[in-house]
Amino acid sequence: SAQLNTAAKAAGKVYFGTAVDNGDLSDSTYKTILAGGDFGQVTAANSMKWDATEPSRGTFTFTQGDAIASVASANGQVLRGHNCVWHNQLPSWVSNGGFSASTLQSIITTHCSTILTVISEIFNEDGSFRTSVFYNTLNSSFVTTALQAAKSADPNTKLYINDYNIEYTGAKATAVQNLVKALKSAGTPIDGVGVQSHFSVGGVPSSYQSVLSAFTSLGVEVAITELDIAMTLPSTAALLTQQGNDYKTVIAACTAVPKCIGVTVWDYTDKYSWIPSASPGKGAACPWDANYNKKPAYQGILNGFGAS
């Protein structure tokens, strides 16, 4: 049978990929599968976030992030940076620094021209801007500051806004569309929208494909950046079958939208999924189980790309 990245490319996509955390890399089975042809792209699950990369002001540490980057490079995989500006996993020198607007602006400029990545989770569910040290100090201008800094540091890197609960029609998806329109009309660099896609079995939104198309109709690409589909444990054959169908639905939506450029699962094995620790009693969200057996989800992904 085909492999996931091969199937993605045959469907006209740039990649199929996975999140990888540094701890995963000490597991030789994990590394073998990671390098085995199913994945053409990786995202660092944690080690390129602000707390990991600039733990004190002006002091950048890339050891952990570089470990992910060098595995990606050795495997010939595209690297997705994640992330430059996020309200979570911020070191306290940023969140509690009490900086003036101009100082915080320059802190963002330094950080985002050093960490070339995306802006994450800036909206509330009702489409208003999320409270954060960035918004509270700079209003929405921090978005432009971050994008311009990243662009001037590397004109060739794709710049994305990434969020969750924008996978269906509603106030939050509309807010992201309005932001993209505003950025484009102001000439601010923006290349794409990252649609996280943390779903539950049976819960893929019916408006998913039309929302992806609504983003691309604004002249940006979209990527599915953090796909997983959780279930209430224990898993059953019926749940795993439904999960396979759900993965197929998600992938088929990306396949059908020409400027949906790729799909990243938020780690490929249940062994290292973030779900059980964040949502006790839930899990089994990934295409491989904790013992590295492929689940029906694997076949669902292939079928969603039109492969078998």
Give yes or no for residue 61 binding ligand G3I (CB under 6 A).
no
Q: How far apart are CA 275 and CA 45, in angstroms?
A: 13
Q: Which of 63, 88, 96, 178 binds ligand G3I (CB under 6 A)?
A: 88
What is the closest distance, in whole angstroms, from the C-beta atom of residue 232 to ligand G3I in the complex? Answer: 18
For the residues of the chain, what is the DSSP string, one character each? ---HHHHHHHTT-SEEEEEE-GGGGG-HHHHHHHTTTS-SEEEESSTTSHHHH-SBTTB---HHHHHHHHHHHHHT-EEE---SB-SSS--HHHHT----HHHHHHHHHHHHHHS---EE--B-TTSSBPP-HHHHHHTTHHHHHHHHHHHHH-TTS--EEEESS-SSSSHHHHHHHHHHHHHHHTT----EEEE--EEETT---TTHHHHHHHHHTTT-EEEEEEEEEEEESSP-HHHHHHHHHHHHHHHHHHHHSTTEEEEEES-SBGGG-SHHHHSTTEE--SSB-TTSPBPHHHHHHHHHTT--
Q: Let me know if 86 is exposed, middle or buried by CB neighbors in 10 A (0-12, 13-18, 19+).
A: buried
Of 84 and 138, nearer to ligand G3I (C-beta) is: 84
Across-strand partners of 20? 44
What is the closest distance, in whole angstroms, from the C-beta atom of residue 86 to ligand G3I in the complex? Answer: 7
Q: Which of 196, 197, 245, 255 binds ligand G3I (CB under 6 A)?
A: 196
What is the closest distance, in whole angstroms, from the C-beta atom of residue 249 to ligand G3I in the complex? Answer: 21
Q: Which of 20, 33, 45, 69 binds ligand G3I (CB under 6 A)?
A: 45
Residues 112-141 that bind ligand G3I (CB under 6 A): 120
Of 41 and 120, nearer to ligand G3I (C-beta) is: 120
Of 56 and 89, nearer to ligand G3I (C-beta) is: 89
Q: Which of 226, 269, 302, 305 binds ligand G3I (CB under 6 A)?
A: 226
Of 156 and 277, nearer to ligand G3I (C-beta) is: 277
Catalytic residues: 121, 226
Give yes or no for residue 42 binding ligand G3I (CB under 6 A).
no
What is the closest distance, in whole angstroms, from the C-beta atom of residue 19 to ligand G3I in the complex? Answer: 6
Of 167 and 226, nearer to ligand G3I (C-beta) is: 226
What is the closest distance, in whole angstroms, from the C-beta atom of residue 84 to ligand G3I in the complex? Answer: 12
Give yes or no for residue 18 binding ligand G3I (CB under 6 A).
no
Give yes or no for residue 46 binding ligand G3I (CB under 6 A).
yes
Q: Which of 123, 208, 247, 274 binds ligand G3I (CB under 6 A)?
A: 274
Give yes or no for residue 270 binding ligand G3I (CB under 6 A).
no
What is the closest distance, in whole angstroms, from the C-beta atom of residue 18 to ligand G3I in the complex? Answer: 12
The residue number with the shortest CB distance to ligand G3I is 274
Q: Which residues, 6 or more positions from 192, have their beta carbon under 8 angstroms from its beta carbon?
A: 158, 159, 160, 161, 220, 221, 222, 223, 261
Q: How far apart are CA 115 and CA 188, in angstroms?
A: 18
Q: Which of 89, 100, 140, 293 binds ligand G3I (CB under 6 A)?
A: 89
Interface residues with ligand G3I (CB under 6 A) are 45-46, 88-89, 120, 196, 226, 274
